[in-house]
Amino acid sequence: MRIIPAIDIIDGKCVRLSKGDYNTKIIYNENPLEVAKSFEAHGIEYLHLVDLDGAKSSQIVNYKILEQIATQTKLKIDFGGGLKSDSDLKIAFESGANQITGGSIAVKNRKLFEKWIAEYGSDKIILGADANNEKVAVSGWLEDSNEDLIPFIQDYQSKGIQYVICTDIAKDGMLEGPSFDLYAKILAQASGIKLIASGGISTFDELPKLAELGCEGTIIGKAIYEGRISLKQLEKYIIM
């Protein structure tokens, strides 16, 4: 299972939120590049970079940080937050993203998101399916949609989507453990999907359980920043 640490950006700084609430912002580091380099130094190959300013606004905002990390590390970066147009996508890929994650756009402008899948290929486009009580949430989780989570994933699977990042918002940043039951349900009903678990990871012991369920990757955020899971532990897990 791939280990994918997260860096969330507000005002150019590395932050974490709880349950996607911008009022719970904690700044962990003023320098995201420094954080990315420390991940790379511990054998980590992947990074989940989220432009939280972009998620709230109508366009990509923190692409310069993406460019910095992409040019000064070898990390394979998936980038999300505020990708709402062809030009946003172009900027993200030109700034060094390996993959992009589309969440709100996949709900609000299906036609455009499907065009991206067809144009860039399903290895480049990740579906961000973030859920509140199994309903898809959008706009930096500031709104719920009427989309049921699993049919939403299945529908995009039929359009060629391979990778899905699923965050259970109730778990995000709470350090109470991930939604094992929800992930088991998705993997049973959307057969063959490459599911990346996100939200709530709090201890190292949860990682083998997610791998056992069949998750292709897991995104770890606050547990690293709060010292619940050390980079040394992750380094050993990667080598295993």
Measured between alpha carbons, how far is 68 from 214 in angstroms, rounded to an integer? 33
Burial class (CB in 10 A: 0-12, 13-18, 19+), 212: exposed
pLDDT one-digit tens code per residue, 52-94: 999 888 799 999 999 999 999 999 999 999 899 999 999 999 9
CATH 3.50.50.60 fits 2-239, yes or no: no
Query: What local confidence, expressed as pLDDT, does residue 145 receive?
Result: 77
Kindly list the catalytic residues: 8, 130
Amino acid symbol at 11: D
d(CA 58, CA 99): 20
**Which pLDDT value is given to residue 212?**
98
Identify the pLDDT of residue 169: 82
Q: Is 82 left (phi over 0), alpha (psi -120 to 50) or beta?
A: left
Longest dimension (CA), the chain: 43
Give per-residue pLDDT as tens, 162-208: 999 998 887 776 778 999 999 999 999 999 999 999 989 999 999 99
Contact assessment for residue 51 and residue 82, using Cβ atoms and an 8 Å cutoff: yes
pLDDT, residue 142, reads 55
What pTM, to 2 d.p., does this model score?
0.94
